[in-house]
Amino acid sequence: MAMSRVSRGSCSNCTCSPGLLSRTNRRSSLFAQKINIKRTNSGITQSRMGSRSGSVFTIDAASLCLPDVKEINTSGRLEALRTKMKEHNLGVYIIPSEDQHQSEYVSPLDQKRSFISGFDGSAGVAIVTRDLMCMNEVPEGLAALSTDGRYFNQATNELDFNWLLLKQGSKDQPTWEQWAVDQAVQLSLDSGSKVNIGVDPRLVSYTLYQKIAGILEKSLQKLDNKNIEVEFVAVSENLVGSIWEKFEPLPPQIREPIRPLDIKFTGEDVADKLTRVKKHTFTNTVEGLVVTALDEVAWILNLRGKDIEYNPVFFSFLIITENNGTTLFIDKTRLSPEVLASLALNDITIEPYDQFYSKLSAVSKEFNLSNKQFLIPNNANWEVLRNLKCSFSQALSPIEDLKSIKNATELDGAKLAHLKDGRALIQFFAWLEEQLVENQELIDECAADEKLTEFRKQEKNFVGLSFATISATGANGAVIHYKPTKGQCATINPGKIYLNDSGSQFLEGTTDTTRTVHFDKPTYEEIKRYTLVLKGNIALSTLKFPENTTGNLIDSIARQHLWKFGLDYGHGTSHGVGAYLNVHEGPIGIGPRPNAAANALKPGHLISNEPGYYEDGEYGIRLENVMFVKDSGLVYNGRSFWEFETVTRVPFCRRLINVDMLNEEELAWLNAYHNTIWNELHDSFDKSTYVYKWLKRETAQLVKNTR
């Protein structure tokens, strides 16, 4: 579909798909590396620019197909998948993004949706159909990728001509579930035969299975055509996994030792956590709990691993019962004698990871004989229910709920982690400004990311990044989840907006900060829109709200100033943040999505605050702090009011703030915030250094213009 937009020289044995030439904005980033950046407003003289050898390149069209760039043409993969679909008598096959733990971010081996589609974003669903009437040697059908507004640009760039993009939430676009059902219905109508919609039951939640089954039932009832027969079926063999090695080697699995996390970081031992979970779970009839979410297992056992990049979790399951103790399903060889002894002390037995489903079946049979139930969390996969042999109730995981409310130790850890991360980010932005403006160096997006990581590594108890850094200059910032690729990323242009969204994992906690900066003279429009986003951030930061308030009710607080000018952003305003765990954590959030309406904000919740604005093809603005909910001390009619406390310690960009657009309350908050940063961090830097002077300038008190 991108054929008309891509011009390149032919290269031998080229299998590059037209749409995939631009994966992770490859086209724009290659050009950005190879042409001279126009710094007309940066104060850089032509003579100095001219002295830099290699800063101007001649574009060779054939060089766009670089031998070290991995391009994916999905035609062969789809052909192989449809052949497997025929073997399993499927007309439609669904490939989710999740693993069997319903993780948001998954290991390389579980990135099956990415493998089949070429789309590398973290969220989305692929649906592949097989034309039952096709008599050709090569099977035919349709392929669709559904994702949300964060990834529309990325998906457009990464999907090749085989794929249709379904834009979730866009006007007149069907949901992917409805699209899959509609395709199956049409296939049955065309062929006059039964059509099966298949999915690996480990990769979809039972809740999602029920939703799709319900959509299918309603569609068939509406059509009322006895000639149409469609069924939603479980396919135990993962069809994408079965064809993977025909095209490339399977990614290696990470199996590093699993480490205990000291109580000085957790604030609560395993025994107390188990007691609280059981108290919140078990009733006269419910005596069992299945735990499939990896961060929930890690939290309750005070253990951390490295099985999924950026997320300190490990592959495991838990079955917790009232009378028969707790069983951990894991590779036992990864546990040290110290960890094994601690688990045994808490009446936790170990069984092999791959025995989870069979063990669940056996235990639930015993429950059935005594009329006992299991509590199955909403995030459990369909395969769990397929193996359950007793009655059950389904609800929000009690562990997810308990884990989200941070104790005093965890909140102190969050403060310390963000103080450390703030120091690293302050050093980074000062360094980047000095290199780009003072030294007039050429720094690309990945080099900037690497330097930021260097600063973070200098901090005590740094473990790693909490997600892949979004380091984006100019138009790349408009791609909400942009990911620069080393060797093909853009050079940072000091005359354009630069956006950095990044975070760390410290033993004390998890950080997530976004700042948008400009190193020269931003335009009136850029300043205005940055200030509107800043006003939204401050509005949410200073909000007081009554107890039992859900995130959907206060989402407009952060958007209101943009809305006044008919502007908005296509992502949520807030997500929960873990305590040295996943950077995105449920069950709370602020935004238009259903989860934000389902669970009230409570004291102890650690949450982001990240309004933004994106001008497609030009720039992106996002300002993200992390806050926690606490009691404001206000009470009305017996109802307590909560408020937020911000823990992020990074200044906002002075060049992009129109002080006259801020009211007195906003200006007071901003100056107090900057004063706090200065007081807490300026002693970290030598007074003679550029970073000290940068911090002093960026945190200096802002005042309105006087006329």
Residues 564 and 692 in one domain: yes
Counting the structural domains of the chain, the total is 4
Residues 397 and 416 in one domain: no
Helix (H/G/I), strand (E/B), else coil: 419:
helix
Please report how many Cα atoms fall inside a 13 Å half-sphere around the Cα of residue 328, on the Cβ side: 26
Closest listed residue to residue 84, CA positions, set 297, 279, 238: 238
Residues 335 and 470 in one domain: no
Instruction: Please give the angle made by the CA atoms of 39, 40 and 45, to the nearest 5 degrees.
Output: 80
Which amino acid, 342? S
Cβ neighbours, 10 Å, residue 532: 22
- Stated as kind and residue range, the H or E segment containing 441 is none
- Stated as kind and residue range, the H or E segment containing 125 is strand 125-129
Q: What is the pLDDT of residue 54?
A: 34
C-alpha torsion 552→669→643→533, nearest 10: 10
Q: Which residues of the chain have pLDDT under 50?
A: 1-70
Closest listed residue to residue 282, CA positions, set 347, 210, 353, 367: 367
Return the CATH number at 359.
3.40.350.10
pLDDT tens digits for range 26-76: 334 443 443 344 444 434 333 333 333 333 333 333 333 333 334 578 999
Instruction: Give 381's contacts (C-beta < 8 A, 6+ positions apart).
Output: 100, 101, 102, 201, 202, 203, 204, 205, 206, 292
Distance between CA 490 and CA 244 in Å, rounded? Answer: 32
Q: What is the pLDDT of residue 324?
A: 82
Residues 268 and 242 in one domain: no
> For residue 117, is it within any domain?
yes
Distance between CA 447 and CA 435 in Å, rounded? Answer: 12
Q: What is the pLDDT of residue 14?
A: 32
Name the token pair of 203.
């990769």
Q: What is the pLDDT of residue 71?
A: 55
Distance between CA 547 and CA 603 in Å, rounded? Answer: 9
Name the token pair of 394.
């389904």
The CA–CA distances, whole Å, from 129 to 74, 116, 163, 570, 691 equal 14, 13, 11, 29, 56
User: Are 607 and 589 a contacting pair, CB within 8 Å?
Assistant: yes
Query: What stretches of 148-202 adopt beta strand conformation (E)?
Result: 164-167, 195-199
The last residue of one of the domains, among 386, 403, 420, is 403
The last residue of one of the domains, among 370, 388, 403, is 403
User: Are 554 and 605 a contacting pair, CB within 8 Å?
Assistant: no
Q: What is the pLDDT of residue 172?
A: 85
- Stated as kind and residue range, the H or E segment containing 286 is strand 286-291
DSSP symbol at 12: T
Q: What is the pLDDT of residue 242?
A: 97
Residues 217 and 270 in one domain: no
Q: What is the pLDDT of residue 22?
A: 35
DSSP symbol at 173: P
Q: Which long-range contacts (CB under 8 A, 24 or more apart) does 344-351 make?
A: 346/270, 346/271, 346/274, 348/270, 348/301, 349/325, 351/327
The CA–CA distances, whole Å, from 443 to 25, 439, 471, 489, 532 equal 18, 11, 11, 10, 29
Closest listed residue to residue 469, CA positions, set 456, 487, 488: 456
pLDDT tens digits for range 152-167: 888 998 999 999 999 9
> For residue 705, is it within any domain?
no
Helix (H/G/I), strand (E/B), else coil: 505:
strand
> For residue 704, is it within any domain?
no
> For residue 304, is it within any domain?
yes
Q: What is the pLDDT of residue 527?
A: 98
Residues 232 and 104 in one domain: yes
Distance between CA 695 and CA 685 in Å, rounded? Answer: 9
Q: What is the residue whose two structure tokens read 């766009």?
A: 64
Q: What is the pLDDT of residue 647?
A: 98
Roughly what angle, to the nearest 10 degrees, separates helices 294-301 and 270-281? Answer: 120
The last residue of one of the domains, among 221, 246, 271, is 246
Cβ neighbours, 10 Å, residue 619: 27
Residues 543 and 673 in one domain: yes
Q: What is the pLDDT of residue 157?
A: 86
Distance between CA 491 and CA 619 in Å, rounded? Answer: 14
Distance between CA 573 and CA 575 in Å, rounded? Answer: 7
Residues 130 and 207 in one domain: yes
Residues 376 and 431 in one domain: no
Distance between CA 212 and CA 363 in Å, rounded? Answer: 29
Q: Output phi, psi for 186, to 5 deg.
A: -65, -40
> For residue 325, is it within any domain?
yes
Residues 647 and 694 in one domain: yes
Cβ neighbours, 10 Å, residue 10: 8
Residues 163 and 277 in one domain: no
Structural domain that includes position 200:
76-246
Instruction: Give 129's contacts (C-beta < 8 A, 6+ positions apart).
Output: 91, 92, 93, 141, 142, 143, 183, 184, 187
Residues 551 and 466 in one domain: yes
Name the token pair of 260.
């205990």
Dihedral of CA 342/327/302/628: which sign?
negative
Distance between CA 98 and CA 124 in Å, rounded? Answer: 9
> For residue 29, is it within any domain?
yes
User: Are 316 and 294 a contacting pair, CB within 8 Å?
Assistant: yes
Instruction: Please give the angle made by the CA atoms of 397, 113 and 481, to the nearest 5 degrees.
Output: 80
User: Are 574 and 568 a contacting pair, CB within 8 Å?
Assistant: no
